[in-house]
Amino acid sequence: MDYNFTAEHEAFRQEVRAFLARTLTTEFWERHRAKGGGSSSPEFSQAAGHEGMLAIAWPPEYGGRGKGFFDQMVYTEEMVRAGAPIEHHRRAVQQVGPSIMLFGTEDQKRDYLPRIARGELSFAMGLSEPDAGSDLASVSTLAIRDGDEWVVTGQKRFTSGAHFSDMLWTVARTDPEAPKHRGISILLVSLDLPGVRVVPLIDLQGRHHFNEVFLDGARVPASNVIGDVNRGWYVNASTMDFERSGIARWAFLERTLRRALVEPASAGPAAEAGARSRLAAAAVRTEVAQLLSHRVTALQAGGGLPNYEVSVAKLSVTETIQQVTNTALHRHGMHGLLAEEDQGDAEDAPDMAWGSLYLDSIRHTIGQGAAEIQRNVIANRGLGLPRG
Non-local CB neighbours of 176 within 8 Å, separated by 6+ positions: 142, 183
Q: Are residues 86 and 179 in the same domain?
A: no
pLDDT in tens, 135-179: 778 899 999 999 999 999 999 999 999 999 999 999 999 999 998
pLDDT in tens, 84-105: 999 999 999 988 999 999 999 9
Q: How far apart are CA 317 and CA 322, in angstroms?
A: 9
pLDDT in tens, 115-132: 999 999 999 999 999 988
Q: Average pLDDT over the chain, rounded to whole? A: 87
Q: Are residues 109 and 129 in the same domain?
A: no
Structural domain tally of the chain?
3
pLDDT in tens, 363-388: 888 877 778 888 888 888 888 888 76
Q: Are residues 74 and 86 in the same domain?
A: yes
Q: Are residues 262 and 329 in the same domain?
A: yes
User: Residue 61: pLDDT band by 50, 70, 90 thresholds?
Assistant: very high
Query: What is the model's pLDDT at position 349?
Result: 52
Q: Are residues 256 and 376 in the same domain?
A: yes
Residue 293 lies in a domain: yes
Strands 142-146 and 184-190: unpaired
Q: Are residues 28 and 112 in the same domain?
A: yes
User: Quick check: 187 and 152 in contact, CB under 8 A?
Assistant: yes
Residue 2 lies in a domain: no
Q: Are residues 147 and 258 in the same domain?
A: no
Q: How far apart are CA 131 and CA 152, in angstroms?
A: 17
Query: What is the model's pLDDT at position 154?
Result: 97
User: Residue 350: pLDDT band by 50, 70, 90 thresholds?
Assistant: low
pLDDT at 282 over 60: yes
Q: Give 85: exposed, middle or buried? Use CB within 10 Å, 0-12, 13-18, 19+.
A: buried
Distance of CA 49 to the CA centre of its chain: 18
Query: What is the model's pLDDT at position 66?
Result: 92
Q: Which of 23-37, 195-209, 294-308, 334-348 shows the lowest mean pLDDT across its residues?
A: 334-348
Q: Are residues 378 and 277 in the same domain?
A: yes
Of residues 216 and 310, which shows the higher confidence score? 216
Strands, E, within the chain: which ranges? 123-126, 142-146, 149-156, 167-173, 184-190, 196-202, 208-221, 225-226
Q: At which of 121, 141, 161 does a domain end?
A: 121
CATH for 153: 2.40.110.10
Q: How far apart are CA 280 and CA 318, in angstroms?
A: 17
Residue 388 lies in a domain: no
Q: Are residues 135 and 105 in the same domain?
A: no
pLDDT at 312 over 80: yes
User: Quick check: 213 and 158 in contact, CB under 8 A?
Assistant: no
pLDDT at 281 over 70: yes
pLDDT at 243 over 60: no
Query: What is the model's pLDDT at position 203?
Result: 80
Q: How far apart are CA 62 and CA 51, in angstroms?
A: 15
Nearest alpha-carbon partner for 116 in 51, 64, 164, 171? 64
Q: Are residues 108 and 200 in the same domain?
A: no
Query: What is the model's pLDDT at position 346?
Result: 45
User: Quick check: 256 and 321 in contact, CB under 8 A?
Assistant: yes
Q: How far apart are CA 384 and CA 379, in angstroms?
A: 6
CATH for 308: 1.20.140.10
Of residues 181 and 194, which shows the higher confidence score? 194
Q: At which of 229, 257, 281 does a domain end?
A: 229
Residue 240 lies in a domain: no
Q: At 82, phi and psi to the nearest 5?
A: -85, -5
Q: How far apart are CA 117 and CA 50, in angstroms?
A: 9
Calculate mean pLDDT across residues 177-204: 92
Residue 250 lies in a domain: yes
CATH for 24: 1.10.540.10
Q: Are residues 78 and 25 in the same domain?
A: yes
Q: Which of 52-66, 201-215, 362-376 shows the lowest mean pLDDT across its residues?
A: 362-376
Percent of the chain residues topping a pLDDT of 70: 92
Q: Is position 341 annotated as part of the catalytic site?
A: no
Of residues 345 and 265, which shows the higher confidence score? 265
pLDDT in tens, 38-55: 889 999 999 999 999 999
- Sign of the torsion angle spanned by Cα atoms 134, 135, 136, 139: negative
Q: DSSP per residue over 325-356, as a string? A: HHHHHHHTGGGGG---SS---GGG-TT--HHH
Query: What is the model's pLDDT at position 218?
Result: 98
Q: Is 37 left (phi over 0), alpha (psi -120 to 50) or beta?
A: left
Residue 222 lies in a domain: yes
Query: What is the model's pLDDT at position 190?
Result: 98
Q: Which of 266-270, 279-283, 300-304, 362-366 shows the lowest mean pLDDT across its residues?
A: 266-270
Q: At which of 121, 154, 177 does a domain end?
A: 121
Residue 365 lies in a domain: yes
Of the candidates 129, 243, 254, 309, the residue annotated as catalytic is 243
Of residues 132 and 198, which shows the higher confidence score? 198
User: Which structural domain range is residue 191 located in?
Assistant: 125-229
Q: How far apart are CA 96 and CA 116, in angstroms?
A: 9
Residue 387 lies in a domain: no
Q: Are residues 135 and 187 in the same domain?
A: yes
